A = this chain, B = another copy of it.
Amino acid sequence: MKPILAELLTIGDEILYGQIVDTNSQWMSVELDKVGIKVIRKTSVGDVESEILSAFAEAEQRADIILITGGLGPTSDDLTKPLLAKYFNCELKLHEEALQELSAYFKSRGRELSETNKQQAFLPVCCTKITNPVGTAPGMWFERNGKIFMSMPGVPHEMKKMMTERVIPKLKEKFKTPTIVHKVIRTVGIGESFLADKITAWEKSLPTHIKLAYLPSLGEVKLRLTGFGDDEQKLKAEVEGLTAKIQPLAGEYIYGYGDEPLEAAIGKLLREKKLTISMAESCTGGYLSHLITSVPGSSEYFLGSMVPYDYQIKMRQLGVRPEVLEQYGAVSEPTIIEMANIVRAKFNTDIGVATSGIAGPGGATPEKPVGLVWIAYSDKHHTVTRKLQLSTERLVNIKAASIAVLNLIRTSLPK
């Protein structure tokens, strides 16, 4: 089957000058990949007529689908709409339905529709209007010689809603996209190359219509299986079967599947087991609590935490014994054990965890270099500690230590 090719075109000086990072095109790539549309190029041009028109023409040569974002505002430096009208050789005209939608949008927010804003309801007569339910600039769908030009707003949540609800379904209909099944297997606590070594034989056994990608990030590696075929049910069963076969090889590192991040997976485990948790965070400085509380509904299992940054606070507020701190120092196994046990008792939770380390750049000694971190997990059955040697970067250490604690919770919870 001939692949369906797409080009992503971003219009606007703010991307060329580096005022914003283009995160839209990454999101679009992932969504298009999911439905079997292959992105062959990404192009960004500024608010310059000749640049935009030549980008249209070049993209039309290369791709079946040209997805355009940006340049749809109501001011004079927004050129996408007039230039699409010019490129497709048709006039701009007031679109009655677009005007009604625009008026309703402003009315619902208690704002007046100005003459400038009214410009948003003028559309090229040769395009199909795509409603923008969460913004003021409608999308525009053009077809010519079997090729599609689709123009969308650059505001991320407006573009995403339009893509998900309208554009992707229309493209699937128009191009009869292949059947594609994805499965993401999420692992933590093992590096990419070690994981690859463990699953070499399995990877080699994959049939040619099922591809594997390694997606590493700080402390985690995601594996993405992508199956191509005709029969969706059969393909799903095949991908599930292959996923099951990875369990005996690397199951201990797998914490979940799909889009669910580690902190949400930990939350689900705690909720299922009806366990509560508290934290004493020194070197992670609140980031671990932030990860846990970034999950909606986390107040069901997370009762609270303390960040005893200062030596005095470690003793007086948390209650670490001065003789332990003095003998072993704040960054040590005896201290981290006390911290985890004490926070669990004080906050009256089933589990207590703790972190203490040298995040850097200051604070190191010959015996305790930057990147040295102790973490601990405590419940009524056992206390588990880990010594980590991380990096020289403060923020990397804070984040990597927090992920290591989440993994320690996962592997230490009562079965």
Contact = CB atoms under 8 A, between A and B. Distances in A.
Contact of A285 (B16, B42, B294): B294
A178 interface: no
Contact of A310 (B287, B303, B307, B312): B303
A16, A51, A292: most-surrounded residue (chain B CB, <10 A) = A16
Contacts of A30: 17-18
Interface in A383-415: 394-395, 398
A286 B281 CA distance: 10
Contacts of A125: none
A297 B394 CA distance: 11
Given A41-B45, A286-B281, A398-B290, A362 B16 contact: no
A217 to B, nearest CB: 9
Contacts of A312: 303, 348
A25 B289 CA distance: 33
Which of A46, A302, A347: most chain B CB closer than 10 A? A347
Nearest to A214: B19
A292 B394 CA distance: 13
A28 interface: yes
Q: How large is the interface on A (under 10, 10 to 19, 20 to 34, 35 or more residues)?
A: 35 or more
Interface string A19-49: 1111101111110010000011111111010
A293 B309 contact: yes
Contacts of A294: 285, 394-395, 398
Given A26-B20, A29-B17, A286-B290, A307 B306 contact: yes
Question: Which 3 A-B residue pairs are closest in the complex by CB-CB distance?
Answer: A285-B293, A286-B289, A18-B29
A288 interface: yes
Interface in A288-342: 288-290, 292-294, 296-299, 302-310, 312-313, 316-317
A191 interface: no
A215 interface: yes
Contact of A296 (B44, B58, B306, B362): B362
Contact of A299 (B15, B309, B347): B309
B286 A215 contact: no
Interface string A49-88: 0010000001000000000000000000000000000000
A25 B312 CA distance: 46
A28 B18 contact: yes
A355 to B, nearest CB: 12
A218 interface: no
B40 A15 contact: no
Contacts of A201: none
Contacts of A289: 285-286, 289, 307
A361 interface: yes
Contacts of A281: 286
A313 B16 contact: no
A361 B398 contact: no
A231 to B, nearest CB: 24
A296 B361 contact: yes
A88 to B, nearest CB: 23
A278 B281 CA distance: 14
A256 interface: no
B286 A305 contact: yes
Contact of A313 (B40, B215, B347, B362): B347
B309 A302 contact: yes
A213 interface: yes
A135 interface: no
B42 A16 contact: yes
Contacts of A166: none
A346 interface: yes
Given A18-B39, A22-B25, A296-B361, 20 more contacts: A15-B26, A15-B42, A17-B39, A18-B29, A42-B42, A42-B44, A43-B44, A58-B58, A278-B313, A285-B293, A286-B289, A286-B290, A286-B292, A289-B289, A299-B310, A302-B309, A304-B310, A305-B309, A316-B348, A317-B347
